[in-house]
Structure 1
Amino acid sequence: MAEVHAHGVDQLCGEGERVYAAALKAGRIDRAAAAGAPCLVELALLSPDPEDTAWLVPEPPGEVVARLLRGLRDELGQSQARAVALTRLAERYTGLDIDTDAPSAGAGIRVLEGKPRIREAIAEASDACMIEHLAVQPGGVRRESVLNDALPLALIMAARGVKMQTLYTHAARHGQGLYEYLERMGGAAEVRTLDEVIERLLIFDRKVAFVPATEDRTVALELRHPGLVQFLAIVFERLWRLGHPLEAPLAAGSGIEGITRREQAIAALLAEGYTDGEVAQRLGINVRTARHHIRKLSEALGAVSRAQLGVRIAQNGLDSPPRPTTEDDPPAPAHQVRPDTP
């Protein structure tokens, strides 16, 4: 009876990893040599060679992940759309119950539609904030006009002794406006950066959080459910520990000649199946810059096609993000951030 391998692509068994790696290096593998890892055929990591079915050929890692992530992204998009629809329905009927003491179906979640309404809700949360403000700001260089508009509110919170921490992408380091903003904050805030961050997130005193509900950020969710807010705070804390203090220099390269740290970050995203546009968005750079780095990455790895680039990325161990900050890195500078529309 054949051995059952109950796992997904993200948790290959030891034999599966060995056989798949051997197939990638050789370009194909004898079907008999792969008999101990039937999971590879079941997961479509190996498929019969059209020219000789006694052999199996590997599917490039990038194509495997891209196939799986397409389905996952579709599921996430449908779930998000359903969540927004349900919370709007709950908000519409809140207060119409005969039993006013009964908890509302939408308790803990409020849908905010329109940027003026979102800004108003964030301003109210800022005014009530007394202890801690955590924020994630995706994208690249922050516009000076945006930072200047946010400065008065941030200074008011700082005057109350509020501890402020913000995460940006590494691309934000190239904007002089951020450094001037932090200087005017007088050391009342901290900033760290990562190759990529999650979507915009604002948390006030671990009591209320704001996240975008649409891609254009014209709809946001105000979250007050203690479990949800605490979960988001834990996510922030874990990203914060991985972040690089703004004043600490980043590692220049990946350890592979001709490949920079940014190109290693791009390689990891390509291995996950992201398009050029999605790579640019996640790293806070424009598409032209992303494509320039992808060309350089292909040249450094000797890849002549996108499929071959995926294989070379895996073979060179570039399918994981660059090394995060460790305890040996310099301490974080006293700098930081701005409440802003999610």
Structure 2
Amino acid sequence: MTELCEEGGRLYAAALRAGRISREDAEPAPCLLEFALLHPDPDDPDWLRPVPPAVALAQRLTPLEREITERRRKALDIAETFEPFMALSGQPVSSSDSITVLEGSERINTALNLATAQCRTEVLTVQPSGRISEESLLRGLERDKPLIERGVRIRTLYQHTARYSQEKLAYAAHLADGKVEYRSIDELVERLIICDDTVAFIPARDDQQVALELRHPGLVRYLIKVFEFMWSRAVPLSVGTPYEPAPDGITEIQHSIAKLLVEGHVDEAIARRLGMNVRTCRAHIAKLASALGSGSRAQLGYLIARSGILEQDP
């Protein structure tokens, strides 16, 4: 079993918040026990206590570590095999060589594995919010652990909503190291991976099945500057929270929502851009309306503009 069922995820989150869950309530989600996410409460046999997500993640990753080590060795062997041939291309890069279309997840992952195996200094990544599957987690570890062991620096940008994702928090904790930094920001448009100042990868289609491999020096430098711009405005994942109210009673995430509301975006578009579900987005809009004393959606836009909150730094 590789996926935690939806009901299991909901009950596990509830157990983490409450500190325990009754055996009866946990029965609809047997995946919780299969994942070893609950253990008996020593003080009361009718209750179960949740295993901390970082511990649960480590337990599930342990049997995969040997596979990761073997794949890492193969990836390095492949990179060393092709490195002399890549060095032969001493002529200037043409426009046709600098942008490569990668179709299909297998070809995309092969190109990413080769690029990270050759990386020597730093990897920059932008990861808009979304649930991490175990398959994606394994691929990430396959690429990230060898980099850390070689002393390569890794900086990753998430959206603020990642702070409520147990998978992302546990993944960050598992790779916590002086060379690895995680920050979050309110809005990220698309995924981005940059290796050194040599190659960048961006998606070319919403279903993530087509990507572009960019090797033009000018394009890569531009994307690095875009990353640094966002990084300077992001908040370390381990410090503070953008969901705490500012002195005006409005959180940073609500400032972001207010800006998008004034720009005319509908709830669904706002939720998509900020990496949250529509129900959560509407809950923030309701809190924003309450803070500003708005009685209707039309009045809310007027009060946002009149309040001057968009002219302040949240």
- TM-score, normalised by the number of residues in structure 2: 0.65
Unaligned runs of 5+ in 1: 1-100, 324-342
More helix by share: 2
Matched, 1:114 2:100: no
Map of 1:154-169 to 2, 5 A cutoff?
154-169=144-159
Matched, 1:260 2:251: yes
After TM superposition, give the deviation of residue 131 of structure 1 in Å: 0.8
Letter of the 2:159 counterpart: T
Unaligned runs of 5+ in 2: 1-90
Based on CA coordinates, which of the two structures has the bigger radius of gyration? 1
Letter of the 2:112 counterpart: I
Instruction: Show CA shifts across 1:214-262 (max 9, x none).
Output: 22222111100000000000111111111111111125113323x3332
CA contact (8 A) 1:141 1:173 kept: no
* Counterpart for residue 129 of structure 2: 139
SS of the equivalent of 1:106 reads helix
Letter of the 2:103 counterpart: E
CA contact (8 A) 1:144 1:178 kept: no
148, 171, 189: which one aligns with 2:161:
171
* Counterpart for residue 284 of structure 1: 275
Change (3 A) 1:156 1:105: closer
After TM superposition, give the deviation of residue 186 of structure 1 in Å: 4.3
- TM-score, normalised by the number of residues in structure 1: 0.60
After TM superposition, give the deviation of residue 321 of structure 1 in Å: 7.9
After TM superposition, give the deviation of residue 165 of structure 1 in Å: 0.2
Matched, 1:190 2:193: no
Change (3 A) 1:301 1:143: farther
CA contact (8 A) 1:167 1:240 kept: yes
SS of the equivalent of 2:96 reads coil
Of 237-246 and 113-122, more deviation after overlay is shown by 113-122
* Counterpart for residue 318 of structure 1: 309
Letter of the 2:288 counterpart: L
Instruction: Show CA shifts across 1:96-142 (max 9, x none).
Output: xxxxx897552311111222211111111111111110000012454
Q: Provide the rounded CA distance (Å) in 1 between the counterparts of 2:157 and 2:313.
A: 17
Letter of the 1:318 counterpart: I
SS of the equivalent of 1:165 reads strand
* Counterpart for residue 72 of structure 2: none
264, 274, 282: which one aligns with 1:273:
264
Of 172-181 and 241-250, more deviation after overlay is shown by 172-181
After TM superposition, give the deviation of residue 167 of structure 1 in Å: 0.4
Q: Provide the rounded CA distance (Å) in 1 between the counterparts of 2:148 and 2:172.
A: 12
Q: Provide the rounded CA distance (Å) in 1 between the counterparts of 2:284 and 2:93.
A: 53
* Counterpart for residue 119 of structure 2: 129
Change (3 A) 1:112 1:321: farther
